[in-house]
Structure 1
Amino acid sequence: MIQSLKVLILALLLAVLLLVVLTRHVPGFQISSVLVLINTLTGTGSPAELESIPDQLTISEGFELTLFADNIPNARFMKTTPTGQLLVRSPKTGTVYLLADTDDTDMADERIPLISGLNRPHGLDIFQDGETSWLYIAETHAVGRIAINWSTASTQGEYQQLITDLPDTGGHWTRTIQFGADGWLYLTVGSSCNVCEETDPRRVAMMRYRPDGSGEQIYATGLRNSVGFDWAPWDNRLYATDNGRDRLGDNFPPCELNQIEAGGFYGWPYINGFGDLDPDFGQRESAENKAALLAKSIPPVFGFRAHNAPLGMSF
């Protein structure tokens, strides 16, 4: 045991030495927290959750924060059903839950696992096809659907995977979907890395499909990780959040809100934020290519703080 402890201490010291060297000699490499370093080296992860999470949050005047439901592991993204219930994804357990407040206490008293056994479900949307109401689910590698009777909160028939070959290796595992007013199903897939040139054109892109999963089109590109998107109700323009890259310091580049245009290119991995050439990829291009990239890239309509990681959005 003593020998194992000595080995661990030596490994920690060598790791710290390596990180010090990287910080001093690699541009943009920073260690912003000693706790992050310790957690990374020991594998302990983040500090344990506090008992009263809402007490850590602040809200604007006129808003109120209450607990609606708990015991939803890794709850992520929500969708209201046609009957006023709430769908919540649990990627960690591969389950989509339906929550209902049947006794009007402003807390969910029903927690129904609608469908389980999924591969990190994230995006959800509902599509009405005649008398059939379909629940569409975006898994990391696929998009599927299942018919739902909302009045009885029950599924009908089998879950059908419509799109089955989405890239699922590397980073940024979330897949967000939403139907547009044009009847197409829009889907975003983030990058496989912090910064690189992707080989699969469906990475760092927004795509769209017919409701049956056919007719794949790449709608917009250069979006490093657009997790949330929605259409403005006053003019039906499409907007999407985008997470900027890491390892360029604590204050750069900004995360983004982009107005998405059909065929638009939004810069990544060559351009960050408002026309700044990336030091790893944009700066290495020839003067002619730099000019062409800058001319082609559409800048964001708003810049968030660096590493702010904007995710879901809704009008």
Structure 2
Amino acid sequence: MKMFKRLLFTVAVILGLLIFTPLVLIQFGPAGWGTTSKVMLNMVFGYGGEAPSASAIKQRLEVADGFSVGLYATGLGKIRFLKVTDSGDLLVSRPRSGEILLLERDRNGDGLPDGQRVLLAGLTRPHGLDIAGRWLYVAESDGVGKIAFNSDDGAVSGDYQRIVSGLGDKGNHWTKTVRASSDGWLYLSSGSTCNVCEEADSQRATIMRFRPDGSEFSIYASGLRNSVGLDWAPWDNSLYATDNGRDLLGDDIPPCELNRIEEGGFYGWPYVNASALDPDLGELNASAVAKNIPPTHEFRAHNAPLGLRFLRRNTVAGFERAALVALHGSWNRSVPDGYKVVSLHWQADGRIVEKDFLSGFLQGDKLLGRPVDIAEGDNGDIFISDDYSGSIYRVAIGEGGASALASVALAPPQPGRRDSGLASYTGEQRRDLLARGEIVYQSYPCSSCHMSGKTASAIPLVGLDERYTVAELAAFFTAPTPPMPVFPLSASDREALAVYLLARP
């Protein structure tokens, strides 16, 4: 009995230290420890900061030239990943409560969602989510499920079906991210169980893939300690993933990573950190070291890159070949670092230049938020989730970022030609569709086959209005004639591209 009481006392003391030590450090600790303690409480217990005020956002947050930032929603709790539907609603995962939220699109233009509701509940720590066809896919910590989803009214129907089960979710890095690709596969990331170790479960520290029904499940790439963000570069459809480097090697090593993911590729962990041997396990596997694929880009150590999103609908100069990355921020540096969204810009010579995109979440020991994920709407709006204050920010394209086509009027239909449907749009609708259509056209390698003079076999885009209406051309993009590939275009993208092509002189 005495032994049992001593055990209870010991457990109580340990729990007390875990809970109260960070609270004490917040108030009285040395520089940097206040932020670190807040982050630790946020990670372990879900502790979060207050909702940011409009004045705090205006005074503290700095956004890249050509953009403006505002608070879209707050008070959402421990939110994580985002997905914008075709109709502009925003889906939000909430792992701690096992829910997927739906924030209704801003129809009235007040800068806020028109409503909020729980779309799915009772899930096992849902994290990543994506839409493919009429299905919403959700990555839970131990599997993947899908349910029929109607983007028009934001409603689900039928039963939620588990298509992948039995995934490991013990230890560290239990989150799973699922993304649907234009190649017909779904890709799924799974982090490691530990800081550094040789995994017993071959599915941990990998990116896997499977068919929409869960079949043909396999490991696609390995040696990825904790790859949370996945996305494809629109100019060549290459898959990229963020990866969080290991801890406990000091403030400045190893770097976190952006990797270009190749089928069968090995990315080093736990034997190599970026391009350097791990001091603990680097000598254990010479063949693994030889196979290591170094990162495409290195982030500062412990910045914790999470969500990754290539911009496809942006009209601001300098962001034509760019991606945004959410840096969640460090928990184990003597001087905290990260806590911002950065933009990565691909140069003509292959280099990647990193710039601040949305910064100011951390100033001294004052922590406003921790960015997690990024989503982009059809109109170019960028949504950023923050799991510290339970908020979502909306970054809008400023007045200076309008497309050059926005002021171009559609030419009147020529006598004797069939009605293409262009005349049915108002002037404002035409300008919006032209601008969006130009973005879609530039985001994919359309000009490589259709720009006259670029190749001997170029197929000029002339006379389309004699053969197609807007609706017919938009429908053509869903099943184009080979060798034209099927691009992952939403219904609104297809309409905008059709208007853009039919309006060309």
Q: TM-score range by the shorter chain?
A: 0.7 to 0.9
Query: What residue in structure 2 maps to residue 299 of structure 1?
Result: 294
The question of 1:110 aligning with 2:105 is answered: no
Gaps of 5+ in 1: 17-30
CA deviations on 1:138-180 (whole Å, 9 max, x unpaired) are: 0101100111122222211111111111101101121001111
CA deviations on 1:13-47 (whole Å, 9 max, x unpaired) are: xxx9xxxxxxxxxxxxxx99544479979x99867
Q: Which has the larger radius of gyration?
A: 2
- Going from structure 1 to structure 2, the CA distance change for 1:256 and 1:40 (only over 3 Å counts) comes to closer
- Going from structure 1 to structure 2, the CA distance change for 1:164 and 1:32 (only over 3 Å counts) comes to farther
CA deviations on 1:86-123 (whole Å, 9 max, x unpaired) are: 11111122111111223221211210211111111111
CA deviations on 1:30-77 (whole Å, 9 max, x unpaired) are: x99544479979x99867446436354322222211111122111211
For 1:160, what is the secondary structure of its paired residue?
Answer: strand
Displacement after TM superposition at 1:78 (Å): 0.8
Query: What residue in structure 2 maps to residue 280 of structure 1?
Result: 280
Q: Give me the CA root mean square deviation.
A: 2.7
Query: What residue in structure 2 maps to residue 25 of structure 1?
Result: none
User: Is the contact between residue 102 and residue 110 of structure 1 (CA under 8 Å) also seen in structure 2?
Assistant: no
Query: What residue in structure 1 maps to residue 132 of structure 2?
Result: 127
User: Is the contact between residue 39 and residue 45 of structure 1 (CA under 8 Å) also seen in structure 2?
Assistant: no
Displacement after TM superposition at 1:224 (Å): 0.3
Distance across 2 between alignment mates of 1:75 and 1:307: 21
Code of the residue aligned with 1:305 in structure 2: it is R
For 2:225, what is the secondary structure of its paired residue?
Answer: coil
The question of 1:143 aligning with 2:144 is answered: yes
Query: What residue in structure 2 maps to residue 99 of structure 1?
Result: 103
Distance across 1 between alignment mates of 2:273 and 2:244: 10
For 2:202, what is the secondary structure of its paired residue?
Answer: coil
Distance across 1 between alignment mates of 2:156 and 2:226: 32
Code of the residue aligned with 2:241 in structure 1: it is A
For 1:311, what is the secondary structure of its paired residue?
Answer: strand
Of 307, 315, 321, the residue aligned with 1:312 is 307
For 1:220, what is the secondary structure of its paired residue?
Answer: strand
Query: What residue in structure 1 maps to residue 210 of structure 2?
Result: 209
CA deviations on 1:283-311 (whole Å, 9 max, x unpaired) are: 3x3xxx43x33321000011000001000
Distance across 2 between alignment mates of 1:230 and 1:45: 28
Spell out the pairing of 1:1-315 with structure 2 (5 A cutoff).
33-35=32-34, 36=36, 48-49=49-50, 51-52=52-53, 54=57, 55-100=59-104, 101-128=106-133, 133-273=134-274, 275-283=275-283, 285=284, 289-290=285-286, 292-315=287-310
Aligned residues: 281
Distance across 2 between alignment mates of 1:178 and 1:213: 13
Code of the residue aligned with 1:124 in structure 2: it is L
- Going from structure 1 to structure 2, the CA distance change for 1:88 and 1:252 (only over 3 Å counts) comes to same
For 1:135, what is the secondary structure of its paired residue?
Answer: strand
Identity of aligned residues (%): 51
Distance across 2 between alignment mates of 1:263 and 1:245: 22
| The structure with more helix, counted as a fraction of residues | 2
- Going from structure 1 to structure 2, the CA distance change for 1:70 and 1:63 (only over 3 Å counts) comes to same
Code of the residue aligned with 1:204 in structure 2: it is A
For 1:92, what is the secondary structure of its paired residue?
Answer: helix
User: Is the contact between residue 271 and residue 294 of structure 1 (CA under 8 Å) also seen in structure 2?
Assistant: yes
Structure number with the bigger relative contact order (C-alpha 8 A, sep ≥ 6) is 2
TM-score by length of 1: 0.82
Code of the residue aligned with 1:106 in structure 2: it is G
User: Is the contact between residue 225 and residue 243 of structure 2 (CA under 8 Å) also seen in structure 1?
Assistant: yes
Distance across 2 between alignment mates of 1:170 and 1:116: 24
- Going from structure 1 to structure 2, the CA distance change for 1:32 and 1:143 (only over 3 Å counts) comes to farther
For 2:157, what is the secondary structure of its paired residue?
Answer: strand
TM-score by length of 2: 0.52
Distance across 1 between alignment mates of 2:112 and 2:39: 35
For 2:290, what is the secondary structure of its paired residue?
Answer: helix
For 2:62, what is the secondary structure of its paired residue?
Answer: coil
Distance across 1 between alignment mates of 2:73 and 2:31: 34
For 1:294, what is the secondary structure of its paired residue?
Answer: helix
User: Is the contact between residue 163 and residue 214 of structure 2 (CA under 8 Å) also seen in structure 1?
Assistant: yes
Code of the residue aligned with 2:299 in structure 1: it is F
